[in-house]
A and B are shown apart, each in its own frame.
Chain A
């Protein structure tokens, strides 16, 4: 998935979205906690000051009325507890709500040393607010005493925890919805790219020969240029073929005249040389138009080409009453010029028809590493000693023996130009077996 554009964009978007939602979660939590602490601080400050205002000196002792303004001080274990202690931490007074509870003395240890100052802190299990005052309890000697209000922090922390859970649930729901929305947006946004990739694949597989459909403005130039490239390459090939065919016609017609005249004079030497000239022309013209295989060139159906050739051979070799056996796999396609495939197969099947006694078989399939085509005949075969010479690399048309058919030579040249290999073997039919192995053309995009 990471190898696809859609996958990359989706993974990156989901990562950014997760980071963003995580930051939201963290920030909201922090703000909620800060707000809760500040609210609690203010609340405890007021409770503390209410205690302070209610305090009286009676018999050299601090006293607070039984019915304090805040009723929770008078309710048993209400969660709000009031204390008055001296600077050493000794409790001078405690509210009724704290009567049954035992508190760690460290709670009452403060760093306060100046009357009128306060200290707010969170101690284990409680919010604590201390306020230091100086009071003349005994005689006229000012004595420092601390008013402390504790509030059980568990209900508040539980509320905050619940709020955090709800917030995370909502963030998760929002995250999932946004991810689904992102997937839809990305699919919609990358649709033209997928269509382009599909079109290229169809061109490679031979179903189409140009990129079709409407594309966004950004892609217009790419598709247009690709179509122009495909068209111009095809036109150039056709122009080459046409020009060379005209050249062949121009050269061969006078040769035909000379040849026919020589039939009458029986001049063997000139006849031989004109024959060679003809073969050289044919050979070199054929070499000149072979295309460079690439991914965007149309794929040619081997079956279609073989069918056309067999129909032609049935006419040409009607008197031999040959039986043709064709076994071409559907996936057998040739990535190249149709004329090249037609020329290779035409020459080889023609040779097989000439050599055969009664049967010619053609088989093809597309299995790694590429296209394999076999042409069998039931003739006398090709001696092992001659096979290598017939398909020798770099074997030149003008160095061949006169009279040797150039069909195999031309076929071999074309196959080699496609980086393929032509082999000669013994057919199970008893005659020659010609095997063509053509490598798969490199794909233009990853699949």
Chain B
């Protein structure tokens, strides 16, 4: 999952970046509204964290422009102005949730997880596909009751494919969503991740969880759509 952070305060921007990276997200950061608009227009993001009090272009204007440009990814607003007028204006502009400064990083993480789940059409933190269960909060995947040993990139690849179950996801799209803008990319790495995931999910190649669509990309085939589990 790739996240954009637009925050003018250096310390908070760095703290958020570090915290998001700890959660294995690919993170890009922008220090003002103009830069944020550029990144959000140029790269595909799964979520954006936007501070309302930004220089150049205000947070509200940035959110409105993104929505007008048909950018549908979830937006979490950060605001030091804790009054409801500002929160409502931010949400009316197109944001999906808010966090008031000063915040606890656990709260930010929880809001981000909830927003990512909602954008994937799931309400619960756990997604089940036959024997495969993915918990997006603890970032753990299980086959049956056995926890899979996955690297962060492998987990991110699996989660992204699972969020887009049934759809063809190209290598480029996967690369864009797994890596941040300043990361040196190698599309062959995606093939390696997919190969490893196939072996870990389905060592006997019976489930055929991830199929290759020639010339287009990959399709996650376990279940036409994610089934929501009541377990958390």
Contact = CB atoms under 8 A, between A and B. Distances in A.
Contacts of B85: 338-339, 342-343
A260 B80 contact: no
A316 B83 contact: no
B103 A311 contact: no
B120 interface: no
B114 interface: yes
* Residue of B15, B83, B91, B92 with highest tally of chain A CB at under 10 A: B83
* Residue of A260, A316, A343, A345 with highest tally of chain B CB at under 10 A: A260
A258 B84 contact: no
B104 interface: yes
Interface in B1-59: 9, 11-12, 15, 19, 53
A315 B76 CA distance: 11
* Residue of A257, A258, A282 with highest tally of chain B CB at under 10 A: A257
A311 B91 contact: yes
Contact of B104 (A253, A263, A312, A342): A263
Interface in B84-127: 84-88, 91-92, 95-98, 101-106, 114, 117-118, 123
B80 A315 contact: no
B205 interface: no
A309 B97 contact: no
Interface in A330-386: 338-339, 342-343, 345-347, 350
B81 interface: yes
A286 B15 CA distance: 28
**Chain A interface, DSSP helix/strand/loop, else mixed:** helix
Given A308-B92, A319-B118, A319-B123, A248 B11 contact: no
B82 interface: yes
A237 to B, nearest CB: 12
A315 B101 CA distance: 19
Interface in A236-267: 245, 248-249, 252-253, 255-261, 263
A318 interface: yes
Contact of B101 (A256, A321, A342, A346): A256
B193 to A, nearest CB: 30
A282 B104 contact: no
A412 to B, nearest CB: 15
A278 interface: yes
A253 B12 contact: yes
Nearest to A275: B102
B12 A260 contact: yes
B177 to A, nearest CB: 23
A347 B138 CA distance: 31
B81 A249 contact: yes
A346 B95 CA distance: 17
Contacts of B11: 257, 260
Contacts of B86: 245
B123 to A, nearest CB: 5
B84 A249 contact: no
Contacts of A338: 85
B212 to A, nearest CB: 35
A321 B118 CA distance: 12
B83 A274 contact: no
Given A256-B12, A312-B88, A342-B88, A249 B97 contact: no
A252 B97 CA distance: 19
A311 B92 contact: yes
B88 A346 contact: yes
Contacts of A350: 84
B83 A342 contact: yes
A248 B86 CA distance: 13
A255 B102 contact: yes
Interface in A102-120: none
B97 A260 contact: no
A248 B102 contact: no
Contacts of B53: 249
A350 B100 CA distance: 14
B80 A248 contact: yes
A252 B118 contact: no
B88 A308 contact: yes
Given A261-B15, A318-B123, A319-B117, 15 more contacts: A245-B81, A245-B83, A245-B86, A255-B102, A256-B80, A260-B102, A308-B88, A312-B92, A315-B97, A338-B85, A339-B84, A339-B85, A342-B88, A346-B88, A347-B84
20 contacts: A245-B80, A245-B83, A249-B53, A252-B80, A253-B9, A256-B102, A257-B9, A257-B11, A257-B12, A259-B102, A259-B104, A260-B11, A312-B91, A316-B91, A316-B98, A318-B118, A339-B85, A342-B88, A343-B84, A346-B88
Report, nearest first, the 9 A-B pairs whose CB atoms are least far apart: A346-B84, A256-B102, A259-B102, A252-B80, A249-B80, A256-B101, A257-B11, A255-B102, A260-B15
Interface of B: 9, 11-12, 15, 19, 53, 80-88, 91-92, 95-98, 101-106, 114, 117-118, 123
